[in-house]
Amino acid sequence: MPHSVEAEGVGCLFGFPIAHSLSPLFHQTSYDDLGIPWKFTFLESKSIHEFLEFIRNPKCYVGSAVTMPHKVAIMDHLDGLTDEGREVGAVNTIIIREEQGRRKYIGTNTDVFGIRESFYQNVSDRSLLDGKPGLVIGSGGAARSAVYALRRMMNCKPVYIVNRFKDEVDQVIQECQSIGFGQNLIHVETVEQAQELAAPGAIVSCIPDFPPTTPEEIRARSVIEAMLNKEQKGAILEMCYHPSPWTELGAIAEKSGWQVILGTEAMIYQGIEQQKLWTGKSLAELPVEKVKAVIHEQLKQSRH
């Protein structure tokens, strides 16, 4: 069960560096709108022990977000994991459960819900997505979450992976297979291979917004464009939103006829999932549109 409302409730974002993060603004806006007397702040630190001391304070702690470089390391210090946290192999959220008079700290991963809901809340025809092939661009932690969301939560099959380096994709596939959601993952390495495959319905791009310069990056971009140029179109979630959610790849996809979903949507809906866990509120009860407006205004100001 979520921790009950406390007058001195405090949550935080734990990571390093995190000064640019919109997470505190996001959560504080929601708490204030709901009339919940909680505060959400930063804990910018490389010390897990400092964070553990913070969350063990029963008077104020109500749950926290965790970001790099602690998403994996924090797992060894928790009392348990949800299926999402365990299978993705990374935790971005900590919730509290009371069991037999003892507080237990449980790690979960709401990034996967953020990815799924970015599609489900923005694409009116879900048949374009569910059960169709998916495509993940990249090989880092966000890519693993994307593979999980597409395979486990949206039943996309197969899921194609495009990346600069083969060994990184091999590692992603191996890890996903060992956990149990690595079936039907295909590394797409060439334009010729891409042209022979069925069009994806959902694409998740998990790479920074830099123009390709190396031979490996140029080859990967050509493979991506071969997928985007297929007759059948769907939706692409561009996870990169800092410093701007309007990316070069997003512009290419839009010009090719794809619906582009900004990365702020994934950030917002993973945060909404955190809010649901911490407050016990439903999606309908949370101030989604107000939070969106605040985040987009902040990004606009940062862009200028």
Q: Which one is predicted more confidently, 106 or 240?
A: 106
In a shared domain, residues 163 and 177: yes
Report yes or no on 164 lying in a domain: yes
Which pLDDT score, from 0 to 100, does residue 7 have?
42
**Summary mean pLDDT of the chain:** 91
Q: Helices 141-148 & 166-179, crossing angle to 10 degrees?
A: 50
Q: Which one is predicted more confidently, 140 or 134?
A: 134
Alpha-carbon distance of 150 to 202, in angstroms, equals: 8
Domain-ending residue, one of 109, 131, 153: 109
Report yes or no on 281 lying in a domain: no
Do the Cβ atoms of 121 and 154 come closer than 8 Å?
no
In a shared domain, residues 104 and 125: no
In a shared domain, residues 119 and 102: no
Q: Is 259 exposed, middle or buried (0-12, 13-18, 19+ CB in 10 A)?
A: middle
Report yes or no on 276 lying in a domain: no
Q: What is the pLDDT of residues 177-210, one digit of tens each?
A: 888 777 889 999 999 999 999 999 999 999 999 9
Residue entry with tokens 């932690």: 141
Which pLDDT score, from 0 to 100, does residue 304 have?
58
In a shared domain, residues 178 and 256: yes
The whole-number average pLDDT for the span 2-11 is: 56
pTM: 0.90
In a shared domain, residues 192 and 247: yes
In a shared domain, residues 133 and 19: no
Q: What is the pLDDT of residues 274-295, one digit of tens each?
A: 999 999 999 999 999 999 999 8
Do the Cβ atoms of 287 and 29 come closer than 8 Å?
yes
In a shared domain, residues 98 and 167: no
Domain-ending residue, one of 92, 109, 126: 109
In a shared domain, residues 23 and 151: no
Number of domains in the chain: 2
Tell me the residue range of the domain where 195 lies: 113-263
Q: Which residues, other chains included, contact 90 with Cβ-Cβ below 8 Å and sequence gap of 6+?
A: 71, 72, 75, 109, 111, 141, 144, 145
Residue 1 scores a pLDDT above 70: no
In a shared domain, residues 76 and 195: no
Q: Which residues, other chains included, contact 185 with Cβ-Cβ below 8 Å and sequence gap of 6+?
A: 147, 151, 158, 159, 161, 172, 173, 176, 177
